[in-house]
A and B are shown apart, each in its own frame.
Chain A
Amino acid sequence: MVRELEKYLRPGIGVTTYCPGCGEAILMGLILRAIDELGLNMDDMLFVSGIGCAAWIPSPYFNADTLHTLHGRTIAFATGAKLANPKLKVMVISGDGDLADIGGNHLIHGARRNIDLTVICANNMNYGMTGGQVCSTTPVGAVTMTTHQGNPFPPFDLCRLVRAAGAVYVARYAVTQPLPLIRSIKKALQTEGFSFIEALTPCPVQFGRRNKLGKPAEMLKSLMARCVMKERAEKLSPEELKDKIITGEFTDGRD
Chain B
Amino acid sequence: MPKKILMAGNIAIAEGAILAGCQAYFGYPITPQNELLEHMAKRMPEEGRVFVQTESELAAISMLYGAAAAGCRAMTSTSSPGFSLQQEGISYMAGAELPAVLVNVMRGGPGLGNIGGAQGDYFQATKGGGHGDYRLINLAPASAQEMMDLTMLAFELADKYRNPVVLLTDGFLGQAMEPVIIRQPVTELPDKPWAITGAAGRPKNVINSFEMEPANFQPRVSLLLQKFERIKQNEVRYQGIHLDDASLVIVAYGSASRSALTALKMARQKGLRVGLLRPITLFPFPYQILADLAQKVSDFLVAELSSGQFIEDVKLAVGLDKRVELASQYGGVPLAPETILETIERMSKVTIGR
Is A183 part of the contact surface with B, judged by Cβ < 8 Å? Answer: no
A71 interfacial contact with B, CB 8 Å:
yes
Chain A residues positioned under 8 Å from B55 (CB to CB): 101-102, 104, 136
* Interchain nearest-CB distance for B76 vs A (Å): 14
Complex alpha-carbon distance, A68 and B111, angstroms: 11
- Does B88 belong to the interface (CB within 8 Å)? no
Could you tell me which residues of chain A, from 120 to 165, have a CB within 8 Å of some CB in chain B? 127, 130-131, 133-134, 136, 145-149
Q: How far apart are B30's CB and chain A's nearest CB, in angstroms?
A: 6
Tally chain B residues at the interface, Cβ within 8 Å: 17
Q: For residue B37, which residues in chain A have a CB less than 8 angstroms away from its CB?
A: 133, 146
List the A side residues contacting B111 at CB < 8 Å.
Answer: 70
Contact A130 B31 (CB under 8 A): yes
Alpha-carbon distance between A147 and B51 when the two chains are bound, in angstroms = 10
Q: How far does the alpha carbon of A182 sit from the alpha carbon of B56 in the complex, in Å?
A: 32
Q: Are B29 and A148 in contact (CB under 8 A)?
A: no
Beta-carbon contact of B81 and A133 below 8 Å: no
Q: Which residues of A contact B38 (CB under 8 A)?
A: 131, 133, 145-146
Q: A51 near B34 (CB under 8 angstroms)? A: no
A-B contact count (CB 8 A): 44
Q: Which residues of chain A are within 8 angstroms of B262 by Cβ–Cβ distance?
A: none
Task: Indicate whether A133 sits within 8 Å of B53 (C-beta atoms), given known contacts A51-B112, A145-B38, A146-B37.
Answer: yes
> B291 near A: Cβ within 8 Å?
no
Q: Determine the chain B residues whose CB is within 8 A of the CB of A145 once the complex forms.
A: 34, 38, 41
Is B28's beta carbon under 8 Å from chain A? Answer: yes
* Per-position 1/0 for B37-49, Cβ under 8 A of A: 1100110010000
A102 partner residues in chain B, CB cutoff 8 A: 28, 55-57
Q: When chains A and B are docked, how far (Å) is the Cα of A71 from the Cα of B31?
A: 13
Given contacts A70-B81, A146-B41, A148-B42, contact A134 B112 (CB under 8 A): no
Do residues B53 and A130 form an inter-chain contact, with CB atoms below 8 A?
Answer: no
How does the 8 Å CB contact mask read for A205-238 relative to B, with 1 for contact and 0 for none?
A: 0000000000000000000000000000000000
Distance, CA A136 to CA B37, complexed state (A) = 17
Q: Inside 8 A of A134's CB, which chain B residues have their CB?
A: 53
> Contacts A102-B56, A104-B55; is A131 near B34 (CB within 8 Å)?
yes
Cα A130 to Cα B28 with chains together (Å): 10
The reply to whether B56 and A72 contact each other, CB–CB distance below 8 Å, is yes
Whether the Cβ atoms of B81 and A71 lie closer than 8 Å is yes
Which residue of B29, B56, B57, B112 is within 8 Å of A146 (Cβ)?
B29
Q: A51-B112, A145-B34, A146-B38 are in contact. Are A130 and B45 (CB under 8 A)?
A: no
CA distance A101 to B57 in the complex (A): 11
Q: Which residue of B lies closest to A69 (CB)?
A: B112
- From known contacts A101-B55, A133-B34, infer whether A149 and B29 are also in contact, taking CB-CB under 8 Å: no
Q: Please give the residue numbers on chain B whose beta carbons come within 8 Å of chain A beta carbons, in ascending order.
A: 28-31, 34, 37-38, 41-42, 45, 53, 55-57, 81, 111-112
**27 A/B residue pairs, CB under 8 Å, sorted by A:** A70-B111, A71-B81, A71-B112, A72-B56, A101-B56, A102-B55, A102-B56, A102-B57, A104-B55, A127-B29, A130-B30, A131-B31, A131-B34, A133-B34, A133-B37, A133-B38, A133-B53, A134-B53, A145-B34, A145-B38, A146-B38, A146-B41, A146-B53, A147-B41, A147-B53, A148-B41, A149-B45
Known: A102-B55, A130-B29, A146-B41. 12 other contacts (CB 8 A): A51-B112, A68-B112, A70-B81, A101-B55, A101-B56, A104-B55, A131-B29, A133-B53, A136-B55, A145-B38, A145-B41, A148-B42
Residues of A within 8 A of B (CB): 51, 68, 70-72, 101-102, 104, 127, 130-131, 133-134, 136, 145-149
List the 7 closest pairs (A to B, CB-CB), nearest first.
A102-B56, A146-B41, A130-B29, A133-B29, A101-B55, A146-B53, A145-B38
